[in-house]
């Protein structure tokens, strides 16, 4: 059985280099932490209206990119303040980053469907 210390000390966030020719090179993408995934999921909900709420998918790819594109030490290159600027970048480039970040973070199509239903 793993100990508390073993769990807390292990390096469990995967990374992958992604070729993004639209940006002139490659970027390092890492998987989300638990708290980052929670923030991302909460960020897609618009204000509730009555008993329902609408999913706010605006800038979703840029949000995920801002959380997952990092330097070699794993530090994020972007913050939430950069989301608007990232959203103005190539949709093709953002999709490449999004696809890898989604896979590394265990985000599935079923997760997205469940979030938009709730």
Say how far apart CA 62 and CA 93 lie, in whole Å: 10
pTM: 0.86
pLDDT at 48: 59
Domain spans of the chain, in order of start: 34-117
State the burial class of residue 103 (Cβ atoms within 10 Å of its Cβ: 0-12, 13-18, 19+): middle
Per-residue pLDDT reduced to its tens digit, 26-74: 999 999 999 999 999 998 875 556 666 677 888 999 999 999 999 999 9
């Amino acid at each position: 059985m793993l100990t508390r210390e073993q769990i807390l000390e292990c390096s469990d966030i995967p990374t992958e280099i992604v070729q993004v020719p639209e940006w002139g090179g490659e970027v390092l993408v890492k998987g989300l932490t638990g708290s980052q995934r929670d923030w991302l999921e909460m960020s897609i909900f618009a204000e509730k209206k009555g008993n329902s709420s609408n999913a706010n998918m605006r800038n979703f790819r840029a949000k995920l990119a801002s959380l997952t594109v990092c330097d070699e030490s794993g530090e994020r290159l972007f913050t939430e303040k950069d989301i608007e600027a990232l959203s103005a970048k190539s949709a093709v480039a953002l999709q490449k980053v999004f696809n890898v970040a989604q896979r590394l973070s265990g985000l599935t199509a079923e997760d997205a469907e469940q979030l938009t239903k709730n």
